[in-house]
């Protein structure tokens, strides 16, 4: 498995901290360890699956970033100043 770097990082607001997610590996870490339980629905599961697929070479970085960004929007986690 090789990490797949995003073309542009995704900036998240997680509680009182901010996090920059710049790759599929970082996205999976964030989804697994920092994602709110209440927001683990369909877009969360799709982002997790697509980021895993990207690490396995089945999907590209653009598709992984797009899925992660969609899940973050749905969860209300996008940092507002970015």
Q: List the beta strands (DSSP E) in 1-82.
A: 5-14, 17-23
Question: Is 62 among the domain residues?
Answer: yes
Question: Is 18 among the domain residues?
Answer: yes
18: CB partners within 8 A, 6+ apart: 11, 12, 79
- The whole-number pLDDT of residue 62 equals 97
- Which two three-digit tokens encode residue 57? 């070479």
- Cα–Cα distance, 82 to 51 (Å, whole number): 22
H or E element at residue 38:
none
Question: Is 80 among the domain residues?
Answer: no
Question: Is 81 among the domain residues?
Answer: no
The 10s digit of each residue's pLDDT in 8-31 is 999 999 988 999 999 999 999 999
Domain count across the chain: 1
pLDDT, averaged per 10 consecutive residues of the chain (82 residues), comes to 92 92 97 95 98 96 97 94 54
The pTM for the full model equals: 0.93
Question: Is 82 among the domain residues?
Answer: no
Question: Is 17 among the domain residues?
Answer: yes
Residue 28 belongs to what domain range? 5-75
């Amino acid at each position: 498995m090789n990490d797949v770097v995003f073309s542009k990082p995704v900036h998240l607001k997680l509680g009182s901290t901010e996090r920059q997610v710049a790759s599929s590996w970082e996205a999976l870490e964030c989804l697994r360890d920092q994602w709110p339980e209440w927001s683990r629905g369909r877009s969360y599961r799709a982002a997790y699956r697509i980021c895993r697929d990207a690490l396995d070479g089945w999907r590209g970085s653009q598709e992984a970033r797009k899925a992660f960004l969609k899940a973050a929007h749905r969860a209300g986690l996008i940092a507002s100043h970015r």
